[in-house]
Chains A and B, each alone.
Chain A
């Protein structure tokens, strides 16, 4: 149980990353294929406006997955990262370019510049989902052995299962993005709902077709995984995933995009859970969850940290999404009443306080050597910096006025 719980965290993070960041990459893919002219421009503009506020937060899920994996299952992480180095590096380059595209967009002034940046960075939206999907496919097809770069650097992620998983990741990202953008357009740009709805349907059907073809590929290329997926628990997950996939398309047809997003998320979760159950307890050939897991203290501390972190994180995420989804948090733009500050200390008092703090700081940090003295010294010096800043800046601003 203790040794499996972090794996559950990793899988949940993976689902969230696929759904949230997938929609982000998909938005980039649609930018690549949307037609030129004003309507294409409007579509691209909408894609950027919708994703802008949330994209950093979406991408941090990947960091969550990486850090929990290397803390809880270090040798699994080392083996995977070293053998799949090329695929992961490509994914990393794609992430750099994708993020840079966002940063650069804020300085754009003409449509020509915009088209240039979108063109250059949209390619990145293809690379990253494909490479990450291919890497996952390599693990699923048992092409990653335990060891420091013990597997083949290229063959490990270019087998049939990898290609299938990569293509599925790309098509699925495009689907998620179209659904998300259609939902978002319904609020502000009703004329954009229909184009994105049609795109969502096309991509959704394509994703379904790739997934169905995937069963044949698994049968041929990863037979033990195929057999595992047909065992009881895993089969239930696969069926749930297929039903959710069909339902999400139905939601798109009737224009219920929010429900379609949850359906898509459930479809991904089904696939990932089915894969995990089919394989459990094997992580890599010859490496079980129990052998790879870190020691008791590390796992307990990690689980406590993740639960505590989640307790802080989810309310904050809810706040962010409510801001971006509802468009505003509270009636804004009222002129604030000037806050009356506490009566400031006299200049001479503050100067003497600053000097006193500096002397205590130097004495405790630089002359003394006990740890407690150093702590007092550091606190004194920080207090000195704050008092000095607080007494210099208002005067400086007043002088300037």
Chain B
């Protein structure tokens, strides 16, 4: 398991604040990724509503689609800036990663740049084109937004999958040679499970969060029966999320088996498995210390069964690599168990809802049901971030798995804590502002004749 030394493009510099640099990157991702979910899934929901309007002529669908399209626009604007910050950080925090491997993975981001560009253009056309185009042309102008939401995820995940399972280049005396960027990015078997897992997560997070907003409205105004508007606005995102949630469990199993094959040490960290074991047990909860899980619930053979679909499969343990090459076990393990725990609950919620709907019963308008729906959105977001913590912290101490240590990639510049603090304060302010504006957008009712440009909201009197 020896790893050849890497001749980085720039000489690595010792960085006192490597951990802070990683945290700053993690913060930037954690802020950006929920917005990505809305970019993936929300336009599709808006288009579905507008399609219902075109089909039925019912103005309610158009009103709802139009209101949601303003939220798409506001969230996309914030997503543009958090995404720009991420691309800055590729150079500001990890210049040696980019300098050494930019020729291998950079293409993914370059194509993603175009995808992002098309998304920005068509979101502009769609959001500002409500009264300026024929209805059908307007609906069609939304299709590229859905497509670019997918291609954007494909490109970014192709880079992340490459970092986790690098290929498409050779090392000659430590130097990166024979670069084949297409093979590196798209010839990578690791890409597909990760991509599908994230794409479905986008629909879950968006669906549960949007449905949760309307369920919250029900919790507060429970005396009056829900209007048709409220029920439509709740039903569509909720049905999408509830169909996606159980499927996500199946996709998660696929991801786990890919991790077992390609990143055995990550799997060992996820499970806290120290000795290499045949017929390994799965541990629920508990805490990893001194090479074993304390206070966990052991289920014999389950890990071998889950990871390799075999009762007695051999599962590689943490003991196969030196301590310096192991990720922080408890962080990875806790994040993974959080994701799986929440994901399981959401899948059960989804199945329960589907059973109710299949039997054509109405969804009970009770405090418990609405309360569960309000919690489901934030829970799905936590699961999303926990999943990314699992894969990204689980990759440590490598930035390019088993090729380049994160410590070699980091910048030599000082002042990382200052930058980190500035970013925290800025994002807190932006987050507070975003909550404020979303509440305003949710309250101001949209009349059909209302002007579409921003700023017009200032002229709109507050309705009932």
Residues of A within 8 A of B (CB): 45, 48-49, 52-57, 59-60, 62-64, 66-68, 70-75, 77-83, 85-86, 88-89, 91-93, 95-100, 102-111, 114, 146-150, 153, 294-295, 297-298, 301-302, 305-306, 309, 312-313, 316-317, 319-320, 323-324, 327-339, 341, 351, 361-362, 365-367, 369, 371, 374-375, 377-378, 381, 384-385, 388-389, 392-393, 395-397, 399-401
Q: Which residues of A contact B279 (CB under 8 A)?
A: none
Question: In the bound complex, how far is the Cα of B88 from the Cα of A59, in angstroms?
Answer: 13
Say yes or no: A371 contacts B426, CB within 8 Å. Answer: no
Cβ of B274 within 8 Å of any chain A Cβ, yes or no, is no
Say yes or no: B134 contacts A316, CB within 8 Å. Answer: no
Supply 19 further A-B pairs (C-beta < 8 A) apart from A56-B80, A313-B114.
A68-B113, A74-B102, A77-B95, A78-B91, A97-B426, A103-B77, A148-B411, A149-B13, A295-B103, A297-B181, A298-B107, A316-B144, A323-B133, A334-B134, A385-B243, A392-B357, A393-B236, A395-B360, A396-B357
Say yes or no: A338 contacts B56, CB within 8 Å. Answer: yes
Report A113 CB to chain B, min CB distance, Å: 8
Report A153 CB to chain B, min CB distance, Å: 6
Say yes or no: A316 contacts B118, CB within 8 Å. Answer: yes
Question: In the bound complex, how far is the Cα of B427 from the Cα of A128, in angstroms?
Answer: 17
Say yes or no: B117 contacts A57, CB within 8 Å. Answer: yes
> In the complex, which of the residues A147, A324, A351 has the most CB atoms of chain B within 10 Å of its own CB atom?
A147
Q: Which residues of B contact A73 (CB under 8 A)?
A: 102
Report B206 CB to chain A, min CB distance, Å: 14
Say yes or no: B117 contacts A66, CB within 8 Å. Answer: no
Question: In the bound complex, how far is the Cα of B82 from the Cα of A224, in angstroms?
Answer: 38
Say yes or no: A374 contacts B192, CB within 8 Å. Answer: yes
Asked if A103 meets B413 with Cβ closer than 8 Å, knowing A320-B121, A323-B128, the reply is no
Asked if A93 meets B422 with Cβ closer than 8 Å, knowing A59-B80, A77-B99, the reply is yes
Say yes or no: B236 contacts A96, CB within 8 Å. Answer: no
Q: Across chains A and B, which 9 residue pairs bring their CB atoms closest together, nearest first?
A: A81-B91, A78-B99, A71-B106, A74-B102, A294-B103, A107-B440, A107-B437, A309-B114, A99-B81
Q: Which residues of A contact B98 (CB under 8 A)?
A: 70, 74, 77-78, 81
Encode B379-422 as 1/0 by CB contact (under 8 A) with A.
00000000000000000000000000000000111110001001
Asked if A153 meets B414 with Cβ closer than 8 Å, knowing A79-B10, A81-B98, A369-B309, the reply is yes
Asked if A369 meets B257 with Cβ closer than 8 Å, knowing A105-B455, A374-B192, the reply is yes
Cβ of B83 within 8 Å of any chain A Cβ, yes or no, is yes
Report A342 CB to chain B, min CB distance, Å: 11
Say yes or no: B81 contacts A75, CB within 8 Å. Answer: no
B54 is contacted by which of A72, A81, A331, A336 (Cβ under 8 Å)?
A336
Residues of B within 8 A of A (CB): 9-13, 52-57, 70, 73-74, 76-78, 80-85, 87-88, 90-92, 95-96, 98-104, 106-107, 109-114, 116-118, 120-125, 127-129, 131-138, 144, 177-182, 189, 192-193, 196, 228, 231-232, 235-236, 239-240, 243-244, 247, 250-251, 253-254, 257, 309, 354, 357-358, 360, 362, 411-415, 419, 422-423, 426-427, 429-430, 433-434, 436-441, 444, 453-455, 457-458, 460, 462
Report A66 CB to chain B, min CB distance, Å: 5
When C-beta atoms are compared, the residue in chain B nearest to A113 turns out to be: B458
CB pairs A–B below 8 angstroms (11 shown) = A68-B110, A81-B88, A81-B92, A109-B457, A305-B114, A327-B132, A334-B134, A335-B57, A336-B136, A385-B243, A400-B232
A71 is contacted by which of B9, B110, B117, B133 (Cβ under 8 Å)?
B110
Say yes or no: A79 contacts B250, CB within 8 Å. Answer: no
Question: In the bound complex, how far is the Cα of B123 from the Cα of A393, in angstroms?
Answer: 26
Say yes or no: B123 contacts A56, CB within 8 Å. Answer: yes
Report A188 CB to chain B, min CB distance, Å: 11
Asked if A60 meets B113 with Cβ closer than 8 Å, knowing A104-B433, A153-B415, the reply is yes
